[in-house]
Amino acid sequence: MKPSPPTPGDSTQLRRAVTSSFLGSVIEYYDFLLYATASAVVFGEVFFSDLDPLAGTVASFGTLATGYVARPLGGVLFGHFGDRLGRKNMLVLSMVLMGVASFLIGVLPSYANAGSLAPIALVVLRVVQGVAVGGEWGGAVLMSAEHARKRRGLWASFTNAGAPCGMAVSTVVMSVTASAVGEAAFLAWGWRIPFLLSVVLLAVGLFVRLRVTETPVFTSAAAEEAPRRAPLLEVLRDQPRVLLLGVGVGLSAFVVQGTLTTFVISYAVQAGFGRQTVLHALTVSSTLAVAGILGWSAASDRFGRRPVVAAGAVAVAAYSFVLFPLIDSGSTALLVVAVVVGQSVLHPMMYGPLAALYAELFATRSRYTGASLGYQLAGLGAGFAPLIFAEAQALGGGTTAISLVIAAFCALTVVCVLALGETSRNELAAPAGAAPAGSHPEAREAV
């Protein structure tokens, strides 16, 4: 007789799932966000050297945006098979895709050596990165959320906490490499080292991920009903309002993420700060953001997702008008304060609870697709915000206009999260044939 699958709340399986989700997310986002850092400090000169510096920055941020455009595609593609076949196999595949794409970026020839083929190949590999990370997030969140019965916000948020941790690791590696080889060598070849290290991280990640079992919620649902032919159609047909509101809730978090982790790097360097100074500040804020994400997500278990996210959006809207004056002050201490308060304290209020919130909106057999699509569509904000803001700079726009845009997205989040309602007590392990989790707030379980 086969042993019964682990049930939600099994502490051993939960620890393995959370550890796997966190480490997998760190590795995936190391690769994905390494590109963001490189696009701000290197790629303009390496792959767009025929353009003037400002135009090269805009073009570099444009290739950055293609990765975010590809993320919804990855969410739908991996979500489709993840909802039909299970979460685990899709997570292994997403990690392999990301590792291979990042390694290949590290061996790409520059524009000086290959001409226009170099930036074209860069864009293609960035799209592959986007597809991979688009499939990673939903599966990693569900591995934790569907193993947990209590404190779902905290356990699911370890996947989100992996993003700033991956950013911190990628920034440290980039910074150490730049310091070790010098400015000229770094631009010539040193920037490739962090990308080539992706092979090592891939091996570690696969070792951890292959030891995790399928989630008990999915295993139970798969035993009760046949797989849906098109989970995407189910989401679009049955829950279009929930999906759109979910995108609206997450959009400002990603606009702010793109601002703080990408645009601010370029802006601060243009304002006269050294690259190493800016990268060090980003490393500190990214490391502290892990605690912020976990802390605010735990608070959302106690107080609800809605009040934490809404309060964070209001605080960030106000802070957006303080951010750029702090950087323009020319003070290194105020630069550190600007990015630490923004990325480590305020942004996690909006971003941390999103992992559990998206998982709580959809039924089990369409949850991977629905959660991934909502999150990745919202993630377009992080891809396009630096590009839009760089274009605004090129046209002579000031930072006040940028702050107004950020505040407007935060207002959208407040409206959408209030309309969506509280999700923290929605039942994940709903029986077959039940309405989607986000449709009936009265279906509750103790958190």
Q: At a CB cut-off of 8 Å and minimum separation 6, what does 376 contact?
A: 71, 72, 74, 75, 134, 137
What is the rounded distance in angstroms from the CA atom of residue 127 to the CA atom of residue 212? 28
pTM for the whole thing? 0.81
Query: Does any domain span residue 104?
Result: yes
Show the tokens assigned to 236. 């679009």
Show the tokens assigned to 226. 């046949």
- Cα R_g (the chain), whole angstroms: 21
Q: Which residues of the chain have pLDDT under 50?
A: 1-6, 8-9, 431-447
DSSP-based three-state secondary structure for 426: strand
DSSP string over 41-53: HTHHHHH-TTS-H
What is the rounded distance in angstroms from the CA atom of residue 139 to the CA atom of residue 145? 10
Query: Does any domain span residue 152?
Result: yes
Q: What is the pLDDT of residues 173-225, one digit of tens each?
A: 888 888 888 878 887 888 889 889 888 888 888 888 888 888 888 888 888 77
Count of domains forming the chain: 1
What is the rounded distance in angstroms from the CA atom of residue 42 to the CA atom of residue 44? 6
The confidence score (pLDDT) of residue 438 equals 44
The confidence score (pLDDT) of residue 436 equals 43
Domain that holds residue 190: 11-439
Query: Does any domain span residue 5?
Result: no
Q: Which residue from 116, 129, 121, 110 is spatially nearest to 30, judged by alpha carbons?
A: 129
Residue 328 and residue 405 in contact, taking contact as beta carbons nearer than 8 Å: no
Q: CA–CA distance from 76 to each of 57, 139, 361, 374 (Å)?
A: 30, 12, 16, 10
The confidence score (pLDDT) of residue 4 equals 44
SS (H, E, C) 373-439: HHHHHHHHHHHHHHHHHHHHHHCCCCHHHHHHHHHHHHHHHHHHHHHHCCCCCECCCCCCCCCCHHH
Query: Does any domain span residue 446?
Result: no
Where does residue 195 rank: exposed (0-12), middle (13-18), buried (19+ CB within 10 A)? Answer: buried
Amino acid (1-letter code) at residue 283: T
Query: Does any domain span residue 123?
Result: yes
Residue 78 and residue 368 in contact, taking contact as beta carbons nearer than 8 Å: yes
Query: Does any domain span residue 253?
Result: yes
Query: Does any domain span residue 263?
Result: yes
Q: What is the pLDDT of residues 9-22, one digit of tens each?
A: 467 778 888 988 89
Amino acid (1-letter code) at residue 21: S
CATH number of the domain that residue 48 is part of: 1.20.1250.20
Other C-beta atoms closer than 10 Å to the C-beta of 294 total: 19
Buried b (16+ CB within 10 A) or exposed e, 230-241: ebbebbeebbee
Kindly state the DSSP code that residue 441 receives in the 8-state scheme: T
Q: At a CB cut-off of 8 Å and minimum separation 6, what does 220 contact?
A: 5, 429
Biggest CA–CA distance in the chain, Å, is: 71
Query: Does any domain span residue 97?
Result: yes
